[in-house]
């Protein structure tokens, strides 16, 4: 249930931003979420509605931008995208050179991309 803690962080950040900019209300919060993060958008939205009650962020819309999972191949020096199902499997091969010598370079991000206030 780490969504609760994350959602609390999102709320705190949005409220801090609203305070800093003398805004009355938080309208939208944009999140960037790597495809490998096991976080359900529905849960974040649900918790957010609950914990933001009575704050300037009440009723804010949460937009989630999904980041793809990207690997970097050390043999041919190319980057390639994989999907989540492939990642849970064992054998990910580089689509360019068919080697298995890669590092994950994207897909685990979780960050607040933007906060819109009025």
Instruction: Quickly list DSSP for 40-65.
Output: -HHHHHHHHHHHTTTSTTTT-EEEEE
Q: Report the residue number, 83 or 100, with the smaller CB distance to Zn ion.
A: 100
**Nearest CA among 31, 15, 11, 7 for reference residue 114:** 31
Q: Report the residue number, 21 or 98, with the smaller CB distance to Zn ion.
A: 98
Interacting stretch for Zn ion, rule CB under 5 A, among 27-35, 62-70, 83-91, 92-100? 92-100
Helix, strand, coil proportions of the chain in percent (round to 5)?
A: 30, 30, 40
Q: Taking CB under 5 A as the rule, does residue 75 contact Zn ion?
A: yes
Q: Taking CB under 5 A as the rule, does residue 94 contact Zn ion?
A: yes
Tell me the C-alpha distance between 64 and 70, whole Å. 18
Shortest distance in whole angstroms from residue 73 CB to Zn ion = 3
Shortest distance in whole angstroms from residue 103 CB to Zn ion = 12
- The contact set with Zn ion (CB under 5 A) reads 73, 75-76, 94, 96-97
């Amino acid at each position: 249930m780490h969504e609760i803690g994350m959602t609390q962080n999102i709320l705190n950040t949005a409220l801090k931003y609203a305070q800093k900019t003398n805004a009355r209300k938080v309208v939208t919060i944009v999140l960037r979420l790597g495809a490998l993060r096991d976080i359900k958008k529905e849960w974040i939205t649900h918790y957010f509605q609950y914990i933001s009650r009575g704050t300037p962020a009440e009723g804010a819309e949460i937009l989630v931008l999904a980041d793809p999972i990207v690997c970097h191949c050390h043999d041919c020096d190319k980057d390639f995208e994989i999907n989540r199902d492939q990642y849970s499997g064992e054998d990910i091969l580089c689509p360019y050179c068919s080697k298995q010598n890669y590092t994950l370079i994207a897909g685990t991000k979780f960050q607040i991309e933007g906060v819109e206030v009025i």
